[in-house]
């Protein structure tokens, strides 16, 4: 595993900024991390019910919090079942179920030294599909099959990467 | 950190396909990623209630969806409390709670250059234990302590890796 | 990408134990992995309701389990709504929403070869903030804004790392 430097060739290092595939991964993984973290803020927004598309009059605003210490205002109660809040939370959970395994899968996929054009476009399509997923699920609900298409795009890309990696490392089972 | 190449030895690169421990990690992490993503499809299956072990007659099938736009059929309602769907979702959540931290822990454990036999067998046992966990939790419920044993196996392996890494890097606290 | 060894300089390898920033990441990521896994055990503790701060008399202990096969004792029922259990579960979910993306973000942030003092202190503050978050949320509830400050610390650090990485790799969009 360790090399002597002078006579042996240097080991191939794929996880640094000289590898354009890794750089492309860095950019789009960062976009998805930011998107995921914004879901927390979107949930908080929904808890205060400032609607994203048109402000609601002050009297109709509702504050829905799951913990007693979160009740900033006197006229509120602990509540769990607001449909707008729960929708954002389901979208957030779906992100965790899909994007977090994708982060690991695409990171280790880079170690197989894939073709740069293929790999970069997979990263781009998967990331844009998940942004679309959030828009049609949590921001502005749109009839199916828009969400299933967005969901399936990243799923299929992750399965493709899994197939590539598993076939390459099958002898280490 | 950076080396001059001609006189200095090449840096040790553990995260590439020449390292059998990393290859073994790649294979089993891929297996677990695929297993986790299949949980989404298992939930969808349960929502349509095609039982995995024996098809239910058409008239008894139930369709349980959390969003209004998911109601493909007229005779269905938005519903949240189906016990079969919720069981799969709890198993999926348990996967996220345990497998996702394991992915990071075992990935960084490789950087300590562990003994190949030990590390590979830890990856194998942890992955097979979680597959067993899914089978006894979500596919075909089995009395305890089968699930606790499957759950505890990966947990203890992750704690072991954590102890190895923490002791090695304690001076960087 | 691949180098010839004798004439070319060795590639810079940031993901090994010779890089103090990576070592610091290893230590604090391990701490957070262990903290997250302990949440499962804290939930189990709450299910058996041995209070952390003072044992409850035997007769008042409650056992709240979500699965029928988990009912070890005759006098218990399947139950989902215990406020103490749900509080720990919300804290655990919040961990997943924030710490897991942070693991990926801080790991890839290392590839930009940041200043060691800055990077190490970011890792330390983010990790200690999340430990504080768990204490004030799940172990001993404390009035706001303690939890928001703890939550916001890691969030802002993750956003900062995201900005550094995105600006560095913007040409690979």
* ipTM for the complex shown: 0.79
Q: Is the pLDDT of residue B74 over 60?
A: no
- pLDDT single digits (tens) C6-47: 445 667 788 888 889 999 999 999 999 999 999 988 888 877
Give partners of C (≥3 CB pairs < 8 A).
A, B
Question: Of C110, C101, C108, C99, nearest to A27 (Cα)?
Answer: C108
Are B112 and B165 a contacting pair, CB within 8 Å? yes
Say yes or no for a CB contact (<8 Å) between C36 and B101: yes
Instruction: Enumerate the residues of chain C whose CB falls inside 8 A of the CB of residue A63.
Output: none
Instruction: Enumerate the residues of chain A whose CB falls inside 8 A of the CB of residue B5.
Output: 5, 10
Instruction: Enumerate the residues of chain B whose CB falls inside 8 A of the CB of residue C29.
Output: 104-105, 108
Report helix, strand and coil shares of chain C as percent, to nearest 5: 65, 0, 30
Give partners of B (≥3 CB pairs < 8 A).
A, C
Higher pLDDT: A137 or A158? It is A158
How close is the nearest chain C Cα to the Cα of B8, in Å? 9
Are A110 and A16 a contacting pair, CB within 8 Å? no
Say yes or no for a CB contact (<8 Å) between C97 and A92: yes
Are C91 and C137 a contacting pair, CB within 8 Å? yes
* B31 in reach of chain A (CB within 8 A): yes
Are B105 and B158 a contacting pair, CB within 8 Å? yes
* B108 in reach of chain C (CB within 8 A): yes
- A-facing residues of B in 35-94 (CB < 8 A) are 36-37, 39-40, 66-70, 72, 92
- pLDDT single digits (tens) A61-97: 455 566 766 655 544 555 566 777 888 888 899 999 9
Q: What is the model's pLDDT at position B9?
A: 60
A78: helix, coil or strand?
strand
Say yes or no for a CB contact (<8 Å) between B18 and A1: yes
Q: What is the CA radius of gyration of chain C?
A: 22
Non-local (6+) Cβ contacts of B48 within 8 A are B61, B63
The whole-model pTM stands at 0.82
Q: What is the model's pLDDT at position A122?
A: 94
> What does the buried/exposed string (b/e) look like for A108-126 if buried means 16 or more CB atoms within 10 Å of the residue's CB?
bbbbbbbeeeebbebbbeb
Give the C-alpha separation, A23 to A26, whole Å.
5
Are B56 and B49 a contacting pair, CB within 8 Å? yes
What is chain A's mean pLDDT, rounded?
Answer: 80
Give the C-alpha separation, C139 to C84, whole Å.
10
Give the C-alpha separation, B77 to B64, whole Å.
7
* A118 in reach of chain C (CB within 8 A): no
> Which of C9, C20, C29 is facing B104, going by the closest CB pair?
C29
């Amino acid at each position: 595993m360790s090399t002597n430097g002078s006579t042996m060739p240097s080991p191939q290092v794929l996880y640094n900024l000289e590898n354009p595939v890794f750089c492309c991964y860095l950019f789009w993984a960062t976009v998805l991390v930011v998107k995921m973290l914004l879901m927390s803020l979107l949930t908080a927004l929904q808890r205060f019910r400032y609607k994203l598309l048109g402000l609601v009059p002050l009297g109709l605003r509702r504050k829905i919090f799951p913990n007693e210490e979160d009740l900033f205002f006197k006229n509120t109660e602990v509540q769990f079942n607001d449909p707008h809040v729960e929708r954002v939370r389901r979208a957030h959970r779906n992100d965790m179920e899909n994007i977090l395994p994708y982060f690991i899968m695409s990171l280790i996929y880079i170690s197989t030294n894939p073709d740069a054009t293929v790999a970069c476009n997979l990263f781009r399509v998967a990331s844009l599909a998940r942004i679309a997923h959030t828009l049609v699920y949590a921001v502005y609900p749109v009839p199916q099959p828009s969400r299933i298409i967005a969901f399936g795009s990243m799923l299929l890309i992750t399965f493709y990467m899994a197939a590539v990696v598993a076939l390459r490392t099958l002898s280490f089972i």
